[in-house]
């Protein structure tokens, strides 16, 4: 019997990378995407030997490339059972009056439109087969708004709404749609948000125990392995030290 296929966007680091490894350990063959081809090569080395692996390098903002690459997958790879829409990031943490247009474009184009472009190509196969699981990685920033989070929070609120919309529209096809909304996870997220300022990025995770990318991957393992009649539709997952988007119990 052919193995099932999982497609994970943003698998070059953090949550996406950990998820690709976890789903491979569960027995899925893996399609992993991201812009950094060399990182996808390194990911392959982390996977069990019997896992087939298809690395795809593209920017989720490039609508034509997304359609071209995902729309012409080799036959072996075209029946995707699990889609993890994970690629995303924050750019900047500025008040709305001084925020940068480039940062706003990046967040809306990657977190919202990129997720839609990828979904647009993958969903028809799922509706045809009347099965599939779509996991959208939102954020606590999609449930709450925090100071200077303005556009990032807006992008993740959009992901939350789109996830609910997908669940409603895909309900007749038996497709499970799941939103996972993490709090603070120590990944490259803050390095990207603060544009390579390592010191500022590290401070975000100091004084408490943040989530690890593997914690989110384990939740994905759990939701993917539920029986056919069970869907964990909407999950908020926080570090124990975090009570809300802005309230984190720090030791010092």
Q: Does 238 bind ligand 8X3 (CB under 6 A)?
A: no
Q: Does 110 bind ligand 8X3 (CB under 6 A)?
A: no
Q: Does 140 bind ligand 8X3 (CB under 6 A)?
A: yes
12/139 with CB nearer ligand 8X3 = 139
CA distance linking residue 87 with residue 196, whole number of Å: 18
Q: Does 184 bind ligand 8X3 (CB under 6 A)?
A: yes
- Asked if 152 is an active-site residue, the reply is yes
Q: Does 211 bind ligand 8X3 (CB under 6 A)?
A: no
Count the neighbouring beta carbons within 10 Å of the beta carbon of residue 169: 13
The count of residues in the chain is 252
Q: Are 159 and 138 in contact (CB under 8 A)?
A: yes
54/129 with CB nearer ligand NDP = 54
| Total of residues contacting ligand 8X3 (CB under 6 A) | 6
Q: Which does 245 bind (CB under 5 to 8 A by kind): ligand NDP, ligand 8X3, none?
A: ligand 8X3
- Shortest spacing between CB 98 and ligand 8X3, in angstroms: 19
Q: Which does 60 bind (CB under 5 to 8 A by kind): ligand 8X3, ligand NDP, none?
A: ligand NDP
81/155 with CB nearer ligand 8X3 = 155
Which of the ranges 3-11, 121-129, 134-142, 222-230 carries the binding residues for ligand 8X3, by CB under 6 A? 134-142
By the criterion CB under 6 A, which residues form the site for ligand NDP? 10-16, 34-36, 39, 59-61, 86-89, 110, 137, 139, 182, 184-185, 187-189, 192, 213
10/149 with CB nearer ligand NDP = 10
CA distance linking residue 12 with residue 66, whole number of Å: 17
State the residues that interact with ligand 8X3 by CB under 6 A.
139-141, 184, 189, 245
User: Known catalytic residues?
Assistant: 152
């Amino acid at each position: 019997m052919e193995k099932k296929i999982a497609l994970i966007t943003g698998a070059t680091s953090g949550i996406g990378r950990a998820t690709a490894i976890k789903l491979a350990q569960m027995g899925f063959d893996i399609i992993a995407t991201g812009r950094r081809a060399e990182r996808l090569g390194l990911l392959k080395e982390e996977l069990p030997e019997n896992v087939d692996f298809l690395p795809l390098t593209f920017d989720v903002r490039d609508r034509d490339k997304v359609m071209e690459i995902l729309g012409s997958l080799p036959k072996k790879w075209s029946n995707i059972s699990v889609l993890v829409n994970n690629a995303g990031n924050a750019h900047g943490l500025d008040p709305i009056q001084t925020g940068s247009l480039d940062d706003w474009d990046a967040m809306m184009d990657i977190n919202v439109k990129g997720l839609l472009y990828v979904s647009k190509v993958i969903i028809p196969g799922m509706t045809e087969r009347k099965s599939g699981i779509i996991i959208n990685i939102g954020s606590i920033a999609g449930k709450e708004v925090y100071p200077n989070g303005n556009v990032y929070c807006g992008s993740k609120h959009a992901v939350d709404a789109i996830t609910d919309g997908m669940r409603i529209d895909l309900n007749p096809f038996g497709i499970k749609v799941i939103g996972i909304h993490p709090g603070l996870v120590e990944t490259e997220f803050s390095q990207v948000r603060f544009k390579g300022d390592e010191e500022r990025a590290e401070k975000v995770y100091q004084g408490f125990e943040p989530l690890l990318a593997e914690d989110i991957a384990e939740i994905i393992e759990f939701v993917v392995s539920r029986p056919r009649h069970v869907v964990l539709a909407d999950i908020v997952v926080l570090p124990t030290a975090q009570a809300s988007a802005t309230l984190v119990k720090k030791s010092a």
